[in-house]
Amino acid sequence: MLRGPPVTPTAVFPGNYNHFDVRSLYPIRSVLSALLVAAVCITAAAQNPALAPVAVNSAAAAIPRNGRLLLVMPFENRSSQTNLDWIGESVPEVLNQRLTSAGFLPINRTDRLYALDHLGLPLDFRPSRASMLRMAQTLDADYVIYGSYTLDGTTLRATAQILDVAALQLGRPIEQQAELAHLIDILNSLAWRTARQLDPSYSVAEQTFVAANANVRLDAFENFIRGLVEAQHAERIKHLKESVRLNPNFYAAWLALGRAYFAHQDFEQAYTTLGKLPRNDSHALEAQFYRGLALFYTGNYAKAEDAFAFVATMLPLPEVVNNEGVAASRHGRDGGPLFEQAIAVDPKDADYHFNLAVSMRRHNNLSGAQREIEIAQKLRPSDSEVEAVAALFKTDAARVVLAKAYPGAPESDPPSEPLERIKRGYNEASFHQAAFELEQVEAMRLATLPAADRAKALSRQGALFVSRGFFLEAERQFSEAVQADPLSALAHAGLAQVREHSGDPEAARKEAQTSISLQPNVAAYLVLGRLDLAANHIQEATADVSNALRLEPANANARGLGQAVEARGHKLP
């Protein structure tokens, strides 16, 4: 596990100093598994005592037997062209994103750079197998994925290998090759084959991986990677601005550009840039966290509170809830309940107790404020600001005693008002860890349900992913639903939508027809309608839309498709 804080920018930001609390980013999995099993069993026993033994077995089976924590290293450039070094750096960016969607927990670039620094190695060091193993052990990784690439004319060949850290065993080489112009497809296919070697039961189709970022231009992608690794701020900004100019919907590049502005304390540019990401994008949580900080530092406290609140609704981590409370306090709202919520999750963080103490004092709860500041003192006895505020609270108590003893005496000037502390560090690993744990809890809860109910719940989750454009995650849910109940019409309709999106019309049509044969439904009819319209089969498309509207006359998507059909000269019945 990590033995120190990740690498962070050294710039000093305005506002109260935020003391970094060194803690492990990756908890011990055996403890986590035991806690998750216990949670599911308690829930199952409360709902139906007879299901408790079944819940134990199902929950235990749901916990991955093999580790899921991955360290993906930049690939080695074995071509003679140093201007292609950026390709090696691009490998972890693509594989990390795809493998996260596949249910693994990759270690991000920041923590990988921390490990190099911790081992006394330069950040551009290309480690040997032995030093990679040391890095993996430093980061508590289960597997290391590394490799190389060569260029023969215009053909790029990439080779990956998986090192099992515990067993000290290498998996069979994974090779992928194509024209250099199709680099992103190569990396997506490499990610899919890696996921399959790590988990042979993984059922998401390769084409879904390839389609995940099919709209990203290669030149925009190259500028994005160069912007990530560039050491000079001006050069970093130049590459990232060029990336979003070439590809305005490349939201990972918008995030990187916003982060670069933020690190350089250009907060207005940061919150404007980070606001370019839609809230249903996979990078939205990180973007909104840093957007909230940038808004906070420019005095836009209400908007900052809204940004933090959005993140907290998705993943209510204590640092996010704390920041929501701090922003609320800055524009006259009571942040106390939010500080209490943060303390409930992490009672050993002195900053949360400090903030609650300040909030309580502001609302004249002097006894509560005294209690919380004493807890903060015990947790962090060397914190000079905590000591100063504790002394201030004693002055408050003395003032109250004097006021009671001499009710007519003039009051002295009130002491200065302390301010709550904001948390500046976004820990991407902890966000992914929390999401991973929540997914495991939900998987174990679903394992206790009858097969048909489990398939319905998984299909609902898949439909939510589809609505947000996360088709890789959606396919995983729909595939598990079909495994639970092969007769689930909703699951087959969901797979039809995924296949349609990934550009496999034949498979999409097959799944849609299977779904309708099990139970006629709007989603499957609309897939068939779009496919028939694209193939210029207008009569068939008309029938598809008519069937959908017969089931749901007010369905907006069916009505929209109907208008498209009528625009081709066919009237709906």
Residues 202 and 73 both lie in one domain: yes
Residues 205 and 76 both lie in one domain: yes
Rounded to an integer, what distance in angstroms lies between the CA atom of residue 545 and that of residue 550? 8
Per-residue confidence (pLDDT) for residue 468, from 0 to 100: 79
- Domain termination site, one of 314, 339, 369: 314
Amino acid at 421: R
**Residue 272 lies inside a defined structural domain of this protein:** yes
| pLDDT by 10-residue block (mean), the chain, 573 residues | 29 30 34 39 41 37 56 93 95 94 87 80 75 83 94 95 92 95 95 95 90 90 96 96 97 96 96 94 91 97 97 87 96 95 94 95 90 95 91 67 42 66 77 69 86 93 86 91 95 96 94 97 96 94 94 93 87 76
Residues 171 and 208 both lie in one domain: yes
**Residue 511 lies inside a defined structural domain of this protein:** yes
Contact 452, 485 (CB under 8 A): yes
Which string of DSSP letters, residue by residue, matches 503-523? T-HHHHHHHHHHHHHHS--HH
Angle, helix 218-229 to helix 183-198, in steps of 10 degrees: 70
What's the number of domains the chain is made of? 3
Residues 141 and 198 both lie in one domain: yes
Domain limits for position 136: 69-214
Residues 99 and 199 both lie in one domain: yes
Residues 509 and 541 both lie in one domain: yes
- Pairing label, strands 69-72, 143-152: parallel
Nearest partner of 163 among 205, 189, 204, 197, judged by Cα: 197
Rounded to an integer, what distance in angstroms lies between the CA atom of residue 35 and that of residue 437? 11
Angle, helix 52-62 to helix 428-447, in steps of 10 degrees: 140
Residues 535 and 501 both lie in one domain: yes
Per-residue confidence (pLDDT) for residue 24, from 0 to 100: 37
- Domain termination site, one of 296, 314, 332: 314
Question: Token pair of 531, please?
Answer: 């496919």
- Domain termination site, one of 294, 314, 334: 314
Residues 195 and 161 both lie in one domain: yes
Q: Output the CA–CA distances (angstroms, integers) from residue 170 to 72, 88, 103, 177, 483, in the order listed.
A: 14, 20, 21, 21, 31
**Residue 268 lies inside a defined structural domain of this protein:** yes
**Residue 363 lies inside a defined structural domain of this protein:** no
Q: Output the CA–CA distances (angstroms, integers) from residue 121 to 1, 132, 243, 352, in the order listed.
A: 18, 11, 30, 35
Per-residue confidence (pLDDT) for residue 226, from 0 to 100: 97
**pTM for the predicted model, two decimal places:** 0.77
**Residue 335 lies inside a defined structural domain of this protein:** no
Per-residue confidence (pLDDT) for residue 70, from 0 to 100: 93
CATH number assigned to the domain comprising residue 115:
3.40.50.10070
Per-residue confidence (pLDDT) for residue 543, from 0 to 100: 94
Rounded to an integer, what distance in angstroms lies between the CA atom of residue 4 and that of residue 20? 10
**Residue 322 lies inside a defined structural domain of this protein:** no
**Residue 7 lies inside a defined structural domain of this protein:** no
Beta bridge partners, 106, equal: 70
Per-residue confidence (pLDDT) for residue 214, from 0 to 100: 79
Per-residue confidence (pLDDT) for residue 428, from 0 to 100: 61
Contacts 24+ apart (CB under 8 A), 5-8: 5/114, 5/425, 6/110, 6/111, 6/113, 6/114, 6/427, 6/429, 7/110, 7/113, 7/114, 7/117, 8/110, 8/425
CATH number assigned to the domain comprising residue 275:
1.25.40.10
Rounded to an integer, what distance in angstroms lies between the CA atom of residue 94 and that of residue 209? 10
Rounded to an integer, what distance in angstroms lies between the CA atom of residue 364 and that of residue 396? 10
Rounded to an integer, what distance in angstroms lies between the CA atom of residue 557 and that of residue 562? 8
Per-residue confidence (pLDDT) for residue 17, from 0 to 100: 29
Residues 250 and 200 both lie in one domain: no
**Residue 418 lies inside a defined structural domain of this protein:** no
